[in-house]
Chains A and B, each alone.
Chain A
Amino acid sequence: MKLTVFNGSPRGKKSNTAILLEHFLKGFMETEGNSYELEYIVNNKDVGELVEMFKDANNVILAFPLYTGCMSGIVKSFVESLKPLYGKQDNPSVGFMVQGGFPEAYQSRFVERYLEKLAKRLNCQYLGCIVKGGIEGIQGKPQFMTQKFFYYFYELGKVYGKSGKFDEEMLKNLAKPEHLSVLGRLFYKFARLTGMANIHWNKQLKENKAFEKRFDRPFT
């Protein structure tokens, strides 16, 4: 099976999306004969090239981070460039991967509906959408906090590499928490009250010598 992957993160190669894709693709490559090509939307000056890649592909995965409850502007630009492929009969199958900074998968469910409709628009077979929240900051997290869901991405990729499908049960398990549980909410409130929740940000603010300016309101 041949796969074409578009990484829609504005951070390109250094993105969290790239890390998640890496695990997914490792699983995908477990099936002999599989191959993939990977393109970064943000690096691509020539949109026409991306459209050609999409057009020639049999199977596509489009992965991106959630931006204010939706896809980012650059991913929307990419989607708009696919307009010439409207109504074609041999468009590829498409699956999506949306990762969010906030912990709840629920926050990505709205753009998921858009993506399913987009597949329909383009006459593409829709494979589903991998959704995972709580991804911002994973690059600084200890291994024990990430290894479980990295493994899920690997397994999802492995099943996809074999069957060309996303495993529904795995999607559901990976997405957890869909909403914050009562305990989860308590944890977040506690983390905020104690300042624990802000450590990640404040550390960077201090490194940048911008800590004193963190509440600046330049536009009033």
Chain B
Amino acid sequence: MKITILNGNSDNRKFDDYRNNLVKMLKLSDNSVAHFKLKEMEIRHCRGCFGCWLKTPGQCIYKDDSHAICREVINSDFVLFAAPLVMGFPSAVLKIAMDKLIPLLLPYIELVDNKECHHEKRYDKEYPLIGLLIEKGDDTDSEDIEIVSDIFVRFAIDFRTSSRFVMQTDIPVQEVSDEINRI
């Protein structure tokens, strides 16, 4: 299986160790893994200019590292979004990269499940399934986890796929790896 990991960690060593172990384990079970350390990459935040829909359809008008990310993501079977929670939500580093995935959609809008407006897919294929790996902060409670999980499900709907899990780094790495291998 082809897996892309978008790693939104900024300065948390424990989280880095956890995620590195996960990458190792996933590779051992014959997955190909593209692992993006977002903090070290050049990703300009989305300006809402819609250039990626209306000027250079399918790619951000700025030639930053979001192009490489979009390429890997759309060609993956599974995408893992990973970040510690900061102020009760995955890091801004991760969210800035997530905002830059909209070139994978079209500007056109359709009703999903005959119910809600969302953008159409640009690519004629099943979009990668997604999962979220988070590390709790000192201030995280169960309500935060619920809010984050629900918002992630909304992101999945926007991205025309479905969320397979939201997992926390307080369980053994093996369990996360097993969960991904079951997909």
User: Which of B11-19, B113-121, B165-173 interfaces with chain A?
Assistant: B113-121
A48 interface residue per 8 A CB criterion: no
A13 interface residue per 8 A CB criterion: no
Could you tell me which residues of chain A, from 45 to 86, have a CB within 8 Å of some CB in chain B? 65, 67-74, 76-77, 79-80, 82-83, 86
Assess whether B58 is in contact with A219, with CB atoms less than 8 Å apart.
yes
Assess whether B54 is in contact with A204, with CB atoms less than 8 Å apart.
yes
Q: A68-B99, A113-B147, A189-B111 are in contact. List 14 more A-B contacts (CB 8 A).
A: A10-B45, A67-B99, A69-B158, A70-B95, A73-B98, A77-B92, A79-B87, A114-B89, A121-B87, A180-B117, A188-B111, A197-B108, A205-B57, A219-B67
A220 interface residue per 8 A CB criterion: yes
Interface set of B (CB-CB < 8 Å, partner A): 45-50, 53-59, 67, 70-71, 74-75, 86-89, 91-92, 95-99, 101-102, 104, 106-111, 114-118, 122-124, 139, 143-144, 147-148, 150-151, 154-155, 157-159
Q: A102-B118, A220-B123 are in contact. Are A68 and B57 (CB under 8 A)?
A: no
Assess whether B116 is in contact with A107, with CB atoms less than 8 Å apart.
yes
**Chain A residues with CB below 8 A from B55, complex form:** 208, 210
Assess whether A80 is in contact with B86, with CB atoms less than 8 Å apart.
yes
Q: Report the number of A-B residue pairs with Cβ-Cβ less than 8 Å.
A: 160
Whole-angstrom distance between the alpha carbons of A113 and B76 in the complex? 31
Which residue of the partner chain, among A67, A70, A104, A111, contacts B116 with CB atoms under 8 Å? Answer: A104
Q: A192-B110, A198-B108 are in contact. Are A210 and B56 (CB under 8 A)?
A: yes
Could you tell me which residues of chain A, from 11 to 67, have a CB within 8 Å of some CB in chain B? 11, 15, 42, 65, 67
Closest to B97 in A: A73
A217 interface residue per 8 A CB criterion: yes
A185 interface residue per 8 A CB criterion: yes
Closest to A103 in B: B117
Assess whether B98 is in contact with A111, with CB atoms less than 8 Å apart.
no
Whole-angstrom distance between the alpha carbons of A80 and B84 in the complex? 12
Assess whether B88 is in contact with A102, with CB atoms less than 8 Å apart.
no
Assess whether A110 is in contact with B144, with CB atoms less than 8 Å apart.
no
Closest to B105 in A: A68
Q: A76-B95, A82-B87, A117-B88 are in contact. Are A220 and B74 (CB under 8 A)?
A: yes
**Chain B residues with CB below 8 A from A111, complex form:** 151
Whole-angstrom distance between the alpha carbons of A175 and B13 in the complex? 43
Assess whether A68 is in contact with B155, with CB atoms less than 8 Å apart.
yes
For this complex, 6 residue pairs linking A to B, each with C-beta atoms less than 8 Å apart, are A73-B46, A80-B87, A179-B115, A197-B109, A216-B58, A219-B71
A138 interface residue per 8 A CB criterion: no
Which residue of the partner chain, among B50, B86, B151, contacts A83 with CB atoms under 8 Å? Answer: B86
- B181 → chain A closest CB, angstroms: 26
Task: Determine which residue in A72, A103, A180 has the highest number of CB atoms from chain B within 10 A of its CB, and name it.
Answer: A72
Assess whether B115 is in contact with A73, with CB atoms less than 8 Å apart.
no
**Chain B residues with CB below 8 A from A83, complex form:** 86-87
Assess whether B48 is in contact with A10, with CB atoms less than 8 Å apart.
yes
A170 interface residue per 8 A CB criterion: no
